[in-house]
Structure 1
């Protein structure tokens, strides 16, 4: 079985480093960002519409993969917790989950979303739509 993780797009954001990134999309500092899709996945975007709620899966390429415990929210006064009990980007396989709204689709192959707390250059590995209201 020769399967590998594929990067389908890349985040363009004004958030430039891990230290200044909010911990969740609901916090102040999460921004409107662009997802520039790899042209190989253009057909996969069919059916997306502005207003859709999406879940973005990212590869936290700058995360420390050796960390197993962190101080929640980086606050040293808090006791260490296992990374699986936190939203820290530091973890053995640093996959991020982000809940966003699709604001616009720009050509060529760019999704404008908000609010997104991922840093500039973060690879996108999958996009899942939330079910639409009936």
Structure 2
């Protein structure tokens, strides 16, 4: 039986504040020279940081607001010598629902702000959710 289309909305819980201010300047992955950055949470979500500490590893889910949502095939890593590949077989930010997943380490907590890194998201990227990385939770 076919599924009926479901629509829903996501509301950002905060935004990335990074020295990366252009998509072209961002590395493909955090471990490829990405800087640390701040996640500024909206004040009403600050209590959700309770229990986090410097050194914790997190999964940050971001909305790649600058992505091309119409792409279904890409040359991986922008390398035209590589064959076209479906976006679901890659980590490309260009996809129908451009959700980014970043494994980062907490460097510092300051009120409703987290300094994390490395993270390749550009300044102003909306944050959808933050989760403790598997193996760090009780």
Structure 2 gaps of 5+ residues are: 1-5
**Residue matched to 2:96:** 92
Runs of 4+ with >6 A deviation: none
Q: Secondary structure at the match of 1:44?
A: helix
1:53 to 57, 82, 93: 57
**Residue matched to 2:126:** 123
* TM-score normalised by L of structure 1: 0.92
After TM superposition, give the deviation of residue 104 of structure 1 in Å. 0.4
**Residue matched to 1:44:** 48
After TM superposition, give the deviation of residue 132 of structure 1 in Å. 2.4
* TM-score normalised by L of structure 2: 0.90
After TM superposition, give the deviation of residue 4 of structure 1 in Å. 2.5
Task: Tell me, in whole angstroms, the C-alpha distance in 2 between the residues paired with 1:8 and 1:2.
Answer: 19
